[in-house]
Homo-oligomer: A and B are copies of this chain.
Amino acid sequence: MTTIGAVEAGGTKFVLALADAEGAILEQTRIETRAPAATFAEMTAWFEAAAARHGPIGAFGIGSFGPIGIDPARPDYATFTTTPKPGWSGASIIEALARFEVPLALDTDVNAAALGEWLAGAGQGRGSLAYTTIGTGVGTGVLKDGAVLAGWSHYESGHLVVRRDPARDPFAGVCPFHGDCLEGLASGPAIEARWGRDLSSASPDQIALIADYAAQLAAALVLLHRPERMIFGGGVVKAPGLIEQVRLLTREKLAGYIAEWDEDLSHRIVPPMLGDKAGITGAIEMGRRALVTFQGDQP
């Protein structure tokens, strides 16, 4: 039986899965993210052993942390670029898997999670979908009819400039590039740096402030992508009351201009359904598609 190898590569752990051709998981594990060479060696050894048990791997799907090149036509493909993670700039995850000599599909972790939620979670059946995570970083994947949208490379919604009222929020932001862009103001590290703790026990005013920044992204996504639905996930979004505030503030900011977003937004702005499984679900689907495309190319 041909199997699919799937990787969700994160900054602290790698989730590895082997699935059958229909996408059902046969076996799964997680390994700690250490230096690239050690992590990659452990990863390939696991896949070799799992393939020996279940059947040869026909394709890989990989959802990875970044920034990472995702355009196969460009020289930085599959290579970590400006990541602050020590040792990882220049590392290539697919070089490590090259020995399997099978097709590989690579995308960002957030795009993989978006695909997972579209396939089997809160975005199921949506013609257009934006999936945003607000945690250590901020990222957004946008899908159109189940295909991940990207231009030259993946989107970088975390660095969107938002309005900050210095009287309400004197915090200058933590983004090393932009200071008070969205990620600089509303990511987990920004919240820690501003208040000395995470958002789980925050005051209503603190929740409202972070929700305001998230809603500014939501409004921008409505205007520049017109999704049917938006999923907001990540550690920051789990704070009590936050997503409800994002709904109210997004509607308020759009101010009636976009009819479909001028109503109770409980059905339009939703939390993820798959939780930690979204990324690996999407990675498996990427692998399945790579296998189908590859088989379609054969004479």
Q: Which residues of A contact B (CB under 8 A)?
A: 81-82, 127-128, 140, 144, 149-157, 159-161, 163, 177-178, 216, 219-228, 253-260
Copies of chain A in the complex? 2
Contact of A149 among B149, B152, B155, B255 (CB under 8 A): B149
The answer on a CB contact under 8 Å between B160 and A149 is: no
Which listed residue (B160, B225, B255) contacts A155, Cβ 8 A?
B225
- Given the known interface contacts A156-B258, A177-B256, the answer about A140 and B226 at a Cβ–Cβ threshold of 8 Å is no
A257 touches B226 (CB 8 A): no
A258 contact set on B, CB distance < 8 A: 156
Q: Assess the B224–A259 pair: CB atoms within 8 A.
A: no
How distant is the Cα of A228 from the Cα of B151 in the complex, in angstroms? 7
Q: Residues of B contacting A256 with CB < 8 Å?
A: 177
Cα-based distance from A282 to B228 in the complex (angstroms): 27
Task: Specify which chain B residues have a CB less than 8 angstroms from the CB of A227 in the assembled complex.
Answer: 151-152
User: Nearest-CB distance from A233 to chain B (Å)?
Assistant: 18
- Please determine whether B159 and A259 come into contact, CB atoms closer than 8 angstroms: no
CB-CB under 8 A from A161, the residues of chain B are 163, 216, 219-220, 253
Bound state CA distance, A144 and B142, in angstroms? Answer: 13
Q: Name the residue on B nearest A253 (C-beta).
A: B161
> What are 30 A-B pairs with beta-carbon distances under 8 A?
A81-B259, A127-B152, A150-B226, A151-B226, A151-B227, A151-B228, A152-B227, A152-B260, A155-B223, A155-B224, A155-B225, A155-B226, A156-B223, A156-B226, A156-B257, A156-B258, A157-B223, A157-B224, A159-B223, A159-B254, A159-B257, A161-B220, A177-B255, A177-B256, A177-B257, A178-B253, A178-B255, A220-B224, A221-B224, A224-B225
Q: Is there contact, CB below 8 Å, between A152 and B128?
A: yes
Set of chain B residues within 8 Å of A225, measured between Cβ atoms: 151, 155, 224
**Complex: A159 Cα to B226 Cα, angstroms:** 13
